[in-house]
Chains A and B, each alone.
Chain A
Amino acid sequence: MSVNKILAAALCLSVTWFTSCKPKGSGNAVGADAAAKTYVAPGKYDELYNFVSGGFSGQLSVYGIPSGRLLRVIPVFSADPEKGWGYSEETKPMLNTSHGYVPWDDLHHVEMSMTDGVADGKWVFVNGNNTPRLARIDLKTFRTAEIIELPNSAGNHSSPFGTENSEYIVAGTRFSVPPDGDKSDVPIKTYKENFKGHISFVSIDKNTGAMDLAFQLKTPGVNFDLARAGKGKSHDWFFFSCYNTEQANTLLEVNASKRDKDFIMAVNWKKAEEYVKAGKGVKQAVTYAHNTFDEATQTAKSEMKKEVTVLDVAAFPDLVYFIPCPKSPHGCDVDPTGEYIVGSGKLAALLPVFSYDKIQAAIAAKSFEPEKYAGVPVIKYEAALYGEVQKPGLGPLHTEFDGKGNAYTSFFVSSEVVKWNIKDLKVLDRQPTYYSVGHLMIPGGNTKKPYGKYLIAYNKITKDRYLPTGPELSQSAQLYDISGDKMQLILDYPTIGEPHYAQAVPAELIKDKQLKIFDINANKHPYKANGEAEAKVVRQGTTVHVYLTTIRSHLTPDNIEGVQLGDEVYFHVTNLEQDWDVPHGFAIKGANNSELLIMPGETTTLKWVPDRIGVFPIYCTDFCSALHQEMSGYVRVSPKGSNVPITFGLGDK
């Protein structure tokens, strides 16, 4: 132990020496034993999986914590040629929407499926902010299993947040817009009359995870920012932060910041569920895509749905209440007990903490403002308020909890993370971030049982933190040890896209459930080749189906002739391997979509339309064995109407 201490001291000295040449102040927050706390030796696993929003990359990244090592990028809303996602015939339908194929999005928030208010490691839900979508990722395969589009919505920002048993995942529109349909062509300046907010409640099947747009709440036209479900005693409630209660439609920077207070909207979702069950909802004709990936056929299908049930909140007096919250609230976070709701007015100089019990008492006593807001009762600020954290910092955004009675709030303008006590509302510690922190996350920090050991700050600006890389620098995550009284910065690492929210869970919850191969005998793909004997080339008019197999280290067939200009060629590639971590790739010269990456036991299809005559090499792109470079072949393309017959073979076969 003493040796350990000496070594740690030596390390501390060297760290201090290294950081002393950094800009003034930027090394102060670094913990002395940072390296020992974040070092994960070769061959060892990280303690936690960390699922991090990929922002405008449209993807979800997976990091190991505490090492900060990037483990995987899961394609969700954006096409990914590396994995053939959105390019293979099987996955193209996943990116279908009512606008057609939309191969990108802006992925902001991450929510794990929960049981009893704690992450259960089954699925991760993420939102597409641009073309409003919600996706479910299966944590057995680390693949996107389902994407549902949201009608009547624009800018799906207040999403995806879930109830304690993932009964519902909600998706609130950031931009209020005229509801979908033929009456939506209205002057923009009629915002107040014609624009509406919609909150989608998507139900989740407990066993399969299947998503269903159960109903929507139609609300006054405001901007919904974030949301959180209640916990424990507040289980039946959902809280949404809203800004632009001025209902401005231009120069929002000024016009949406006029009121002293905006709102947190409290929704009794159990009541909403009852009203829908009782048939009180209005059926509205809409169009939205619902895309599902079938693991048996390894093929996605996209279905256009035509109807949604809507509850107008103004028509139900006991369903929704507004709570005044200072200056454009961003985060709206519920503590582990379900009693405290922290509003973060991003332009406010204080943090209001609301009390669930007081909100209930205020509703019972009708402690409302004299005037409703667009037909919805407004609870008196003081009647709902537990207390205020005074002068916490500038630009509060998000709050997470450590389960020990403390809250941690990110401050964008003053670039810091501030720890404060929920009961006495006193600030306990503040540490700088580099720079302009947005979201922050404590593993389980949004649940009933936070894993209060680490905090990760996700920063928007990283000037001078990394070797410069031209005009743009990667955004960053910063890991803090929060096990002691003071937060200690222990690691700084770049992220993909712009990270927004994230989730993290102990590795044990996920790692042993991993699917290692797809069982080839369970493969129900209609174009599967069950062994090399079934590899073949079939012409049907001007369509050519190639049933091709891969195994270390050859393609079967590897010589194909008889393809003609004007043909559409479908390569259905079955990977015959049944060994973990042995995908094969498939590529052909001139392919104007992507390569394929086929997992063991899987069949994946690449469409190829040759644009000229000649001989086109095909090859495996994923280095698979010592003879990987030999894993190749040729496709001959002849002129249209040529008399070269379809032939195919491998070796002498």
Chain B
Amino acid sequence: MKKSSLAAITLSVAMCLLIACGGGSSHKEQKSATTNTPSEEPAAANPSYDPKRGEGKFDESNVKVGPLNTAMAAKGKTTAETKCFSCHKTSAEKLVGPGWKGVTARKTPHWIMNFVTNPDPMIDKDPEVQAQLEICLVRMPNQNLTEDEARNILEFMRQNDGAK
């Protein structure tokens, strides 16, 4: 609190100086005054990110896949109709986002679970998602999927990819 009020005063003074000097080189002061503002860590500064796992609640221990559960897959499809198919086709064809065909071969189950429930930080950090963003230009929205909804969608993706 004290720190921020100090920063506030510094900034105000800097602004006054800026006015008083008719816009001289007060770049330095301004910069130092804004170091307090919270900012997201850039991707490069985040070596702890694991592109095989993604970021979120899920890993190998809590996402297990076995023989296809068709009931779960059917529920996943219903949810996807409301929340996903506006932007994704079940074929390989790109719509707004990439097509779903083959996604379960390209990505681990827990990566998919993390990405669909926690897209924002992964869009910022995951190199492959970043590359995808350059193609799609639309950040995948957080559709507020519950854990069950996400798991059912994963099951539907597996069915879509021919899992038995």
Interface on A for B, CB 8 Å cutoff?
3-4, 7-8, 10-11, 14, 35-36, 39, 41-44, 517, 519-521, 530-533, 549, 551-554, 556, 576-580, 582, 625-627, 651
Contact = CB atoms under 8 A, between A and B. Distances in A.
A387 B102 CA distance: 84
Closest A-B pairs by Cβ, 7 of them: A578-B144, A531-B81, A551-B86, A39-B8, A531-B82, A14-B16, A578-B143
Nearest to A576: B86
B82 A552 contact: no
B138 A549 contact: no
Given A520-B82, A533-B81, A549-B86, A578 B142 contact: yes
Contacts of A576: 82-83, 86
B20 interface: yes
Contacts of A549: 86
B8 A35 contact: yes
Contacts of A41: 4, 7-8, 11, 36-37
A521 B148 CA distance: 14
Given A517-B144, A554-B86, A577-B141, A530 B81 contact: yes
B36 to A, nearest CB: 6
Given A39-B12, A41-B8, A43-B38, A531 B86 contact: yes
Contact of B6 (A7, A14, A42, A651): A7
A35 to B, nearest CB: 5
Given A36-B9, A43-B37, 7 more contacts: A7-B13, A11-B9, A531-B83, A532-B85, A577-B141, A578-B83, A579-B144
A292 to B, nearest CB: 27
Nearest to B9: A7
Interface residues of B, number: 33
Given A14-B16, A43-B38, A517-B144, A556 B9 contact: no
A10 B29 CA distance: 15
Contacts of A651: 95
A67 to B, nearest CB: 11
B40 to A, nearest CB: 11
Q: Tell me if A's interface is mostly helix, strand, loop or mixed.
A: loop
Nearest to A628: B138
Interface string B73-111: 000000001110111000000011000000000000000
Interface string B115-143: 00000000000000000000001110111
B10 A7 contact: yes
A507 to B, nearest CB: 15
B48 interface: no
Contact of A582 (B4, B141, B145): B141
Given A36-B12, A553-B96, A625 B6 contact: no
B82 A551 contact: no
17 contacts: A11-B16, A14-B16, A36-B9, A39-B11, A41-B7, A44-B4, A530-B81, A531-B85, A532-B81, A556-B86, A576-B82, A578-B142, A578-B144, A579-B143, A579-B144, A626-B137, A626-B138
B13 A552 contact: no
B6 A3 contact: yes
Nearest to A5: B9
Interface string B43-87: 000000000000000000000000000000000000001110111
Contacts of B83: 520, 531, 576, 578
Nearest to A13: B16
Contacts of A626: 137-138
B25 interface: no
Nearest to B141: A579
B86 A14 contact: no
Given A14-B16, A551-B141, A4 B9 contact: yes
B16 A530 contact: no
B54 to A, nearest CB: 18
Contacts of B142: 578-580
Contacts of A8: 9
Contacts of A43: 37-38
A14 B13 contact: yes
A36 B13 CA distance: 10
B8 A554 contact: no
A580 B143 CA distance: 9
Contact of B82 (A517, A521, A579): A521
Contacts of B36: 41
A552 B6 contact: no
Given A36-B12, A41-B37, A627 B137 contact: yes
Nearest to B80: A531
Contacts of B37: 41-43
A551 B20 contact: no
Given A3-B6, A530-B81, A14 B20 contact: yes
A290 B130 CA distance: 53
B116 to A, nearest CB: 12
A72 to B, nearest CB: 22
A10 B20 CA distance: 13
B32 to A, nearest CB: 13
